[in-house]
Structure 1
Amino acid sequence: MATNKIALVTGGSRGLGRNMAINLAKKGIDVILTYNSNKKEADHVVSMIQALGQHAAAFQLNAGDTRSFDSFIRTVTDHLKNQTGQSNFDFLINNAGTALYAPFIETSEEQFDAVYNIHYKGVFFLTQKALPFINDNGRIINISSGLARFTLPGSSAYGSAKGAIEVLTRYLAKELGSRGITANVVAPGAIETDFGGGHVRDNKDTNAYVASVTALGRAGLPDDIGGIVAFLCTDDARWINGQRIEASGGMNL
């Protein structure tokens, strides 16, 4: 029987999710991560976690397709039953997402639906489906964005979906408190990853602009975020509940 805590990280094959998964493993937490299409990268992250001495597995998930959630949860819980003798896990990190940069006036209904399905509807119902398998005193961590607090033209659909996630998180904290489950938001600022086609990392003008409006004078890095998520899954964070933690280096203060 396994005694390690277990985290499920959606979108854990790259970028911030990968950093979260590795930092969770460094805390002695076993990790199940999901990927949308890049199994090779996901398997590489699994190998990195195993090299840290933790159990890990990766499963495919389209985080915007709610019809696939029942079979996904079955796959995860069957795996856990085989590995640990029980179907439950401890921490759910709703991280999977895609970017959309489009002016409000040009945002199509199709683009809006894609953002809504991945960033709000998918999170809502994946959490609902996972809840019977989250241990009492577990944690739910939803990933939002600085764009739910400050505004940049072109992010109306994405930013408002993240705003919805922040409100939902407070409701989860309230309704799940009787089970000892906390729910919190981590809201990264602009981070240098391949997110949005490497928008912040690779566009020199964008990177310089981010640095100019950030108190600490640079864009964020994945290593600035993963440790915060891992901390929220430790006993030291047990009394943090219903909170939004922005990790942006002081962007647009």
Structure 2
Amino acid sequence: METQNKIALVTGGSRGLGKNAALKIAGKGIDVIVTYQSKREDAEHTVEEIKKLGANAAALQLNVADTKSFDSFFLEIKSVLKSVFNKDKFDFLINNAGVGAHASFAETTEEQFDNLVNIHFKGAFFLTQKALGLLNDGAAIINISTGLARFSLPGYAAYASMKAAMETLTKYQAKELGSRGIRSNIVAPGAIETDFSGGAVRDNADLNKIIASQTALGRVGLPDDIGGVIAFLCTEDARWINAQRIEASGGMFL
């Protein structure tokens, strides 16, 4: 029997923020495809959790830094859409996959820079471009930025610059894809307790305390604080929100 559920593709959906978003999206009655780079077991566990919520799900391997792999990846997506979901197209693309890098501007290497640009900007740019043929009209793109594109903390010059580029790209996507009814927005989390950047925010008590003291709501963010914002942008209630940067930071550095 064909389901009428819409479908979201969440990159980096096997753990952390991406997993939380995938579960919150599933909670809205939307089916989910998650991608993982290396942690297949984590991704399959996420798929099982999504199914327990009553939505359908699948997991596919993807290295967002490798743009040459995107054509074959979307052939896989086409096949999975047909075999698992009985659909030809999907409705939401969440460009979440990412890595952290902490290095001062003076010490950032070209290799670190290239890795960040490939994952956070070039990868997201061309993955979305390649996805256009498989996105339904009226679809939505949700990119992920960072509070660090608004305020500056030493050590994130390259990373935050890629995210600022994504914020600009989001506006261009909204402008150029609006004729198809496709919205594009970007969510900017503040500091979050995940294993991102080696789990620094979660595991370093001093850092955690400093961030909490600079946040209006008095604590550090959790994946649970962000996933629901992403899920909301996949709903009909968000249909008139377009080209926006939505910061979810609890009020950091106000």
Q: Please say if residues 56 and 85 of structure 2, whose CA atoms lie closer than 8 Å, have aligned partners that are also in contact.
A: no
Q: 1:81: which partner in 2?
A: 82
Query: Match for residue 251 of structure 2?
Result: 250
Is 1:107 aligned with 2:85? Answer: no
Partner of 1:32: 33
Q: State the alpha-carbon separation in 1 of the partners of residues 87 and 19 from structure 2.
A: 26
Superposition pairs for residues 170-249 of structure 1, below 5 Å?
170-249=171-250
Equivalent residue for 2:69? 68
Instruction: Give the TM-score normalised by structure 2.
Output: 0.99
**Letter matched to residue 197 of structure 1:** G
Q: Which range moves more in the overlay, 69-78 or 238-247?
A: 69-78
Counterpart residue type for residue 124 of structure 1: F
Q: Report what 2:47 is aligned to.
A: 46
CA distance, structure 1, for counterparts of residue 85 and residue 152 of structure 2: 45
Separation in 2, partners of 1:122, 1:87: 23
Deviation track 1:13-41 (CA, whole Å, cap 9, x = no partner) reads: 00000000000000000000000100010
Q: Following the alignment from structure 2 to structure 1, what is the Cα–Cα distance between the partners of residues 22 and 84?
A: 19
Q: Secondary structure at the match of 1:225?
A: helix
1:174-213, Cα deviation, whole Å (9 max, x unpaired): 0000000000000000000010110100001110011011
Tell me how far 1:83 sits from its aligned partner: 2.8
What corresponds to 2:163 in structure 1? 162
Question: What CA distance in whole angstroms lies between the structure 2 residues aligned with 1:246 and 1:84?
Answer: 33
Q: How many residues in Structure 1 have an aligned counterpart in Structure 2?
A: 253
CA distance in 2 between partners of 1:79 and 1:87 (Å): 9
Give the secondary structure class of the aligned counterpart of 1:58: strand
CA distance in 2, matches of 1:205, 1:131: 44
For 1:236 and 1:52, the matched residues in 2 are separated by: 21
Matched letter for residue 122 of structure 1:
G
1:86, 1:195 → 2: CA distance?
34
Kindly, what percent of the aligned residue pairs are identical? 66
Structure 1 residues 47-87: Cα deviation after superposition (integer angstroms, max 9, x where no partner)? 00001111000011001110111111110111112234432
Q: Which amino acid aligns with 1:22?
A: L
Q: CA deviation at 1:2?
A: 2.4
Unmatched segments (≥5 aa) in structure 2: none
CA distance in 1, matches of 2:143, 2:83: 28
Match of 2:138 in 1: 137
Residues 142-176 of structure 1: CA deviation (Å, up to 9, x unaligned): 00000110000000000000000000000000000
Aligned equivalents of 2:165, 2:140: Cα separation in 1: 19
TM-score (norm 1): 0.99
SS at match of 1:100: coil
Aligned partners of 1:75, 1:2: CA distance in 2, in Å? 20
- In the alignment, the residues of structure 2 paired with residue 74 and residue 206 of structure 1 have an alpha-carbon distance, to the nearest angstrom, of 43
- 2:117 alignment counterpart: 116
Structure 1: which 5+ residue stretches go unaligned?
Answer: none
- State the alpha-carbon separation in 1 of the partners of residues 132 and 243 from structure 2: 17
Instruction: Name the structure 1 match of 2:7.
Output: 6
**Counterpart-to-counterpart distance in 2, 1:157 and 1:235:** 35
Aligned-residue offset at 1:130: 0.4
Q: Partners in 1 of 2:83 and 2:59 — Cα distance?
A: 15
Give the alignment's Cα RMSD to 1 decimal. Answer: 0.6
AA aligned to 2:187 is V
Return the alpha-carbon distance in structure 1 between the equivalents of residues 96 and 83 of structure 2.
26
